[in-house]
Amino acid sequence: MNELLARSLEASTVFLLAALGELVNQRSGILNVGLEGLMLFGGTAAFLVAQSTGSYPAGLAAGIAVGGLLGWIHGLFSIRLRGDQVVSGMGLWILSFGLTTYLGSPHTGPLGLPRFPALVGLSPFVYCGTLLVAAVWFVLSRTSLGLAIRSVGESPAAAAASGVNVAGIRYLCVVFGGTLAGLAGAAYTLSYNPVWNYNFLMGWGFVSLALVFFSMWNPWVLLGGSVLFGAMWQLSLSPEYVLPGVLSRYVWRTVPFGVTIAILTVISTPWFRTRWGLAKPQALGVPYTD
Amino acid sequence: MTPELEHRTPPPVLAARGISKSFPGVRALDRVDLEVAEGEVHAVLGQNGAGKTTLMNILFGLIHPDEGEVYLRGRRVRFRSPHDALASGIGMVHQTRRLVPAHTVLENLVLGHPRARGLLDLRRARQELEALCARYGVHVDLGARVWQLSEGEKQWVEILKALYAGVRILILDEPTSALTPPEVQALLRALRALVDQDGVTVVLVTHKLPVVRAVARTVTVLRAGRVAARLSVSDTTDHELVQHMVGQEVTLPTVQAPDHRGPVVLEVEDLSAYNDKGVLSLRGVSLTVHEGEIVGVAGVTGNGQEELAQVLAGLRPAVSGRVRLLGRDVTHLPTLDRWRLGLGYVPAERTEVASVAALSLVENTGLNYHFDPEFCPRGMLDRARLERLTRQILATFRVKAPHPYVRAQHLSGGNLQKLVLGRVLSRQPRLLVAHLPTQGLDVEAASFVRAQLLEAKARGAAVLLISEDLDEIFAVSDRVGALYEGRFVALVPRNEADPETVGAWMAGSLGRRA
């Protein structure tokens, strides 16, 4: 049971890292639906580099760097070229899917390194993710940079008129989102499940994306949601723990999506909006032209 | 500038020389010069589309001139963005609000503040801002979210924001257009204090002569993208200023609409409705409008006027009460069916609701005709016919547009409003609901619009005019009333009230009548 808990916390962390980065870039107004692609690419890069150098730090660095680079490319399309963010994100996902398959298939199989070191029985990523949540919350709500990020995502014209560099802030956030997606991919392929398969993520990125909407763009809710989603995902792998034989694992896996759809429906009702205000950044997905 | 002149007068604190700027199809500014002396209020006067806002946006670094230079204290400056302008002590309050609606007033004020680096010290900012508010006699709840504020309060937030950032030159673009008369007076008082006590320089963009008279020392008049005159306010007359603004003698159309009230067209009984925030903001309004009659409804923004107009247009559900149009109960009738019955609606939001910016004028005209089988037989747009109608509207309503296929977004506010009004009136509506039809328009366009309302009345339409301009209400209405907190304070024939009384009604008091 303890093992299951540790595993589900580790799964939660993969969701959490990716979703936290996406949360930050969405708060600045940039939607990256290609999260799955960034995670695939970051994970594959981390796996290949760690395998060839035998070094976990090198693998992690590669995952983070590739994620950041892809985030920057998404920024280039959606900020500089003012393209459609959904199209750019989907393009990145398809590109990453294809390229990682091409680069990774010769290395299909286990990583072949000693197990990723644990810290007090848990993967170090779990601690790292929790600290990052606190850091992101602090920056967004207590610092001037955070105010600039939130303003750019709500009303870029107002931010620009206040002297905020809208494009600069958005680049910063989209690259940050990319590095965390790369880190999430690396956490998956180096620690959670250190085996390379064709399309090894199978939707983890999309669950993370759903998690951001679920969290209503609040890092602490995101943390709670990721634990919930991680546990549900882990349970779907071991359905014998919950109501054995009732539903197949594939049905269990749809539960996070079902929950997210329910949440999205509730937060978009006039009833919710008049009581809690608008949770969604108003300029999300809208290119800024001055 | 000759050397001899240079040592006689100090260089202007802010100057623009030979500024030109073109947009697709329009030359917005043509070699414009502007000089503003330190510690004065300099007014930039002009009609809609004269290029005032464009010039200010250039001074503020929001757009870049094609030609020409900007000088700050005698030094040439090139602002790449508002950030540069703010860093040089120039702030601007735009005509459209530049605030983040979801944030609190305090957060908006702190955003972009030069000292806001690293951690946000909101407690200290709050103390400083409270002191600033006290100094200028402003009351704004710093903890409120901006979307909850009235237009006047939002404007104050923007002014406070510029002052808090330590701005020495303040550009105000049409600051009085969204304000009620008492708010205008308070603003003008504060501006005088700013200039006299603190030595701030103010550039005030307006098309209102009384505002210029009240606070400005010098004035630059723009006309069609050029400088028509640069004058000292005390040496000039209103007549002269209007001449410079308009260019030739203006003959404003005057219509004497005969008073013969026909049968009731609109009958509203005990109508209530919620506003966008779920608050009951229209509470039991009753009124009738007869054929050939204009009923003028005054009120400060947010007292239920918008809800009244929208419920009548079928855009907002009524919580209770009845609306009868030509004797038929239309309370729950969809908008389109009301149009078919003879409703004409001119919404207040010219660019968001009344027109589609990216569509051509012909297509915008089609917005009131898409359901008309004569213009759309078997669902196909009869483009030739629509174009003919559009040309006719452009000609009769004196809309200045290069051609009927230009996009609506390229029209100035006044021209767009004439097009919208022309389109609605071309349907010969039995009931015309006009909400703030002259807001933000220059003198000429506004009086044209008013004349059209009178003409609609003369043709037998019932007109409900919802306005914040008391002079306008008294100029055209047969009966006048004021809404306060969702109810009529009173609704009486025009000759039984005067603007002062109605102004008191707007503020919720019964005034001298009580």
Residue whose structure tokens are 């809309």: B399
CB–CB of A164 and B111 under 8 A? yes
Domains and CATH numbers, chain B: 11-246 (3.40.50.300), 264-342+429-513 (3.40.50.300), 363-425 (no CATH)
Furthest CA-CA distance within chain A: 60
Specify the range with the lowest mean pLDDT, choosing from B191-195, B328-332, B443-447.
Answer: B443-447
The minimum CA-CA distance between A246 and chain B, rounded to whole Å, is 44
Task: Check if A155 contacts B (Cβ < 8 Å).
Answer: yes
pLDDT value of position B293? 93
What is the arithmetic mean of pLDDT over A67-92? 94
3-class DSSP state for residue B238?
A: helix
Following DSSP, what letter does each residue of chain A receive, concatenated?
A: -HHHHHHHHHHHHHHHHHHHHHHHHHHTT---TTHHHHHHHHHHHHHHHHHHH--HHHHHHHHHHHHHHHHHHHHIIIIIS---HHHHHHHHHHHHHHHHHHHHGGG-EE--SPPPPPBTTB-HHHHHHHHHHHHHHHHHHHBHHHHHHHHHHH-HHHHHHTT--HHHHHHHHHHHHHHHHHHHHHIIIIII--EE-TTTTTTHHHHHHHHHHHTTT-HHHHHHHHHHHHHHHHHHH-TTSSSTTSS-HHHHHHHHHHHHHHHHHHHTSHHHHHHH---S-TTTTPPP--
Å between A257 CA and nearest CA of chain B: 28
A42-72: pLDDT as tens digits = 999 999 999 999 999 999 999 999 999 999 9
Structural fold of domain A2-202: ABC transporter involved in vitamin B12 uptake, BtuC (1.10.3470)
For B305-343, how does the pLDDT look when each residue is reduced to its tens digit (9 = 90+)? 999 999 999 999 999 999 999 999 999 999 999 999 999
Candidates B218, B453, B496; CA nearest to B344 is B453
Closest approach of chain B CAs to the CA of A132, in angstroms? Answer: 18
* Comparison of pLDDT for B446 and B346, the residue scoring more: B346
Nearest to A158 among B100, B118, B120 (CB): B100
Q: Are A277 and B145 an interchain contact pair (Cβ–Cβ within 8 Å)?
A: yes
Rounded Cα distance between A31 and A21, Å, is 11
Q: Which long-range contacts (CB under 8 A, 24 or more apart) does B401-406 make?
A: B401/B361, B402/B25, B404/B360, B404/B361, B404/B362, B405/B360, B405/B361, B405/B362, B406/B25, B406/B360, B406/B361
Nearest to A162 among B101, B111, B277 (CB): B111
Contacts with B, A 245-284, CB within 8 Å: 270, 274, 277-278, 282
Whole-prediction pTM: 0.73
CB contact under 8 A, A274 and B108: no
Tell me the per-residue pLDDT of B342-398, one tens digit each, with 9 for 90 and over. Answer: 999 999 888 888 888 888 999 999 888 888 888 888 878 888 999 999 999 999 998
A164 lies within 8 A of chain B by CB: yes
* Contact: B120, A147; criterion CB under 8 Å: yes
Query: Would you call A151 and B100 a contact, using CB atoms and an 8 Å cutoff?
Result: yes
Calculate mean pLDDT across residues A250-269.
Answer: 77
Place of tokens 């880190």: A183
Alpha-carbon distance of B32 to B25, in angstroms, equals 19
Question: Are the beta carbons of B116 and A147 separated by less than 8 Å?
Answer: yes
Distance from CA of A54 to the nearest CA of B (A): 40
- The pLDDT of residue B8 is 47
- State pLDDT tens for residues B149-192: 877 888 889 999 988 988 999 999 988 876 767 778 888 988 99
- Our CA-based measurement puts residue A281 at a distance from the nearest CA of chain B, in whole angstroms, of 9
Q: Does A218 touch chain B (CB under 8 A)?
A: no
The two three-digit tokens of residue B500, written as one number: 């002062």
Q: Average the pLDDT over B427-447 and give the result.
A: 88
- Interface touch B118/A142, C-beta < 8 Å: no
* Average pLDDT of span B72-86: 90
Q: Which of B103, B117, B118 sits opposite A154 (nearest CB)?
A: B103
- HEC string of B389-421? HHHHHHHHCCCCCCCCCCEHHHCCHHHHHHHHH
Tokens of B470: 């008391």
